[in-house]
Chains A and B, each alone.
Chain A
Amino acid sequence: MALLQVTDFQSFSEVRGQILPVRQRHLVDRTNHYNFGSKTQEFAVPPGVEPSGFLKSCNRDGGVCIEMNHGTTTLAFKFRHGVIVAVDSRASAGRYLASNDVNKVIEINPYLLGTMSGSAADCQYWERLLAKECRLYRLRNNHRISVAAASKLLSNMMLGYRGMGLSMGSMICGWDKEGPGLYYVDDNGTRLSGRMFSTGCGNSFAYGVVDSGYREDMTVEEAYELGRRGIAHATHRDAYSGGVVNMYHMQEDGWIKVCKEDVSELIHCYRKGMF
């Protein structure tokens, strides 16, 4: 995707679009519909279509039972030695468990990570698009994009489609010249920098655990344990979270994947001696 854009390669359909009269351009299909630094800002939604109305008609009120994927628990916190990112791995569609082994962390590049919560399709697509833009930035400017800029790009993408029914709650984590960076970006266009975030319907359970155990001067092992506990306790109480804990540690020279542990084993381990 990135290479195509940089080398100004025009696919057949685009060339054809330039030859044909202007009004028929809308029907030409484009490979990439979001261009930074281009003359006009284009949106892939053709005029006249209203996605949010369509989505509303797909809800229970409209008599249809299509449930979007929404349940998850993800958490991330900054501490002295970097950023810990921990996510569960369950994908649910209403009451049906689509999968217990989804990776909800997208590895944008070796020094940037994005988490996904909300609609799986939206998250995967937009974060891949973000990955493309980060690569383009690196190719054009010869230095890595900062975490603040990457999260701003994502948030602008969301703002472009605001009110149209996107559902995404993501955390962009990385390490740049300013040190460890953690931003929360959401489908409303919210972009917040912070020390700790948790998203998804199990987030309240994770907040309790991490708020209580967090200390700035934690060792790396303690931080890993806190991340694991946060997700494990959230999956214990929340029906829409479960599977395994995927944990990443963002260090100065890039991220490492710490572990992938089954939550049921973790809970047995933690609750030994309980009722």
Chain B
Amino acid sequence: MALQDICNFQSVFEDRLTTEYPAVPHGKKIASSYVSGLPFSNNKSLFHFYIPVAEYLDESPIQFGQISTVQNCSAVSSEDPFLTSSSLPTCLPFASSQSVPLPFPMAHGTTTLAFMFQGGVMAAADTRSSCSGLVACPASQKILPIHSHLVGLTSGTSADCALWKRILARELRLYQLRHGRRLSTSGAAKLLSHMLHPFKGTELCVAATLCGWDGGETGPGSRGETTKNQMTELFYVCSDGTRLRGMLFSVGSGSPYAYSILDQGVHWGLSVDEAKSIAREAVYRATYRDAYSGNCVDMYHITSKGWTRRNREDLKEEYYREKERRKHEKTERRDVTFSD
């Protein structure tokens, strides 16, 4: 994708591309012309999306399937496309001028977390993809590496997150090819935030946490690892425009459970093993209580040498171990009382 843009590769279909397609999401489609060729292959604008011709797709795809009132409120009738935003359930913060009920409920529940410490950045996430009560995939990947020193954690709608991660990866690679150096994490977060901005107010739901190491591999290491002037960066970018820098973030429906564990144990001077065990415990506790998080835990550790991935661990084992432990404690207790 990126390389084709750079070398201005002209594909056979390019002469049929139309540039009249509006990039602004709220405009209606001008003509139902057939835009073929690769998506994003026109390097004039980022937002030329590939649109198949079909009668029901008269509106722009951004507006297709906009407002969903499915989650736990009453359903919106599909004959009324102009409902005002006051009928939105309070769980969705976005308002949109037009509403068409979603064809299926979107996936939103997850637990992802990331924190900085002296040994780099630790990122962990569960692996359950849920779709309003159904576990759509018990082994999905929510931590997506963007390049060797940048990892993104995704939360929100899985499809949106996967797409925007790829777009971000492409843009970062383009930047690297054009300027000869990698874009910093702060710049990557800003780029993602600006790319998501035109979609503000639509149903797009992306809450990404970018964890990265800036600078060359030799630079920070020579300054010593205990200094806080490290090149690790942690940013939280959200599709409603939030862009925050911090040292600890947890996103998703299971985040409150994880936050309290992290607040207890995370501090700058952690060793790598301690950090791993805290991250694991936090995700485990979130999966213990939250219905939309579960299955396995993925962990990534980002240092000056890039990211390293730990083997995916099934939390079912941990659950059974804990159950055994509790049963053991209970029998111990009974023994103690009988021996009095």
**Chain A contact residues, CB within 8 Å of chain B:** 61, 80, 202, 204-209, 211-212, 215-217, 229-230, 233-234, 236-238, 270-271, 273-275
Contacts and interface: CB of A to CB of B under 8 A. Distances in A.
B260 A205 contact: yes
Among the interface residues A237, A270, A273, which one has the most CB atoms of the partner chain B within 10 A?
A237
A217 B260 contact: no
A275 B257 contact: no
Nearest to A61: B86
B332 A233 contact: no
Nearest to A207: B289
Contacts of B247: 275
B260 A273 contact: no
B323 interface: no
Interface of B: 86, 247-248, 256-261, 263-264, 266-269, 281-282, 285-286, 288-290, 326, 329-330, 332-333
B254 to A, nearest CB: 8
B267 A273 contact: yes
Given A208-B285, A274-B266, A216 B329 contact: yes
Contact of B259 (A211, A212, A215, A237): A237
Contacts of A273: 267-269
Contacts of A274: 266-268
A73 B281 CA distance: 22
Nearest to A201: B256
A195 to B, nearest CB: 9
A215 B328 CA distance: 11
Contacts of B326: 216
A230 B264 CA distance: 10
Nearest to A198: B289
Contacts of B290: 204
Nearest to A205: B260
Contact of B263 (A207, A217, A233): A233
Given A80-B333, A216-B329, A211 B285 contact: yes
A236 to B, nearest CB: 6
Contacts of B333: 80, 216-217
Given A206-B260, A212-B264, A233-B259, 15 more contacts: A80-B333, A204-B257, A205-B259, A207-B260, A207-B289, A208-B282, A208-B285, A208-B286, A208-B289, A217-B329, A229-B264, A234-B260, A237-B259, A237-B263, A275-B248
Contacts of A275: 247-248, 267-268
Consensus secondary structure, chain A interface: helix
29 contacts: A61-B86, A204-B260, A204-B289, A205-B256, A206-B260, A208-B257, A208-B259, A208-B260, A208-B282, A211-B285, A216-B330, A217-B329, A217-B333, A229-B264, A230-B260, A233-B260, A233-B264, A234-B260, A236-B263, A237-B256, A237-B259, A237-B260, A237-B263, A270-B264, A271-B263, A273-B267, A273-B268, A273-B269, A274-B268
B257 A207 contact: yes
Nearest to B256: A204
Contacts of B286: 208
A233 B260 CA distance: 6
A215 B257 contact: no
B264 A211 contact: no
Nearest to A229: B264
Contacts of B268: 273-275
A273 to B, nearest CB: 5
A214 to B, nearest CB: 9
Contacts of A271: 263, 267
B53 to A, nearest CB: 40
B289 A209 contact: no
Contacts of B263: 233, 236-237, 270-271
A208 B266 contact: no
A209 B260 contact: yes
Nearest to B257: A208
Nearest to B326: A216
A50 to B, nearest CB: 19
A270 B282 CA distance: 17
Contacts of B261: 208-209, 212
B285 A212 contact: yes
Nearest to A236: B263
Among the interface residues A202, A208, A212, A234, which one has the most CB atoms of the partner chain B within 10 A?
A208
A236 B290 CA distance: 20
A212 B281 contact: yes
Contacts of B248: 275
Nearest to B327: A216
A212 to B, nearest CB: 6
Given A207-B257, A208-B258, A237-B259, A217 B264 contact: no
Contact of A211 (B266, B269, B288, B330): B288
Contacts of A204: 256-257, 260, 289-290
B264 A209 contact: yes
Contacts of A80: 333
Given A270-B264, A275-B268, A208 B330 contact: no
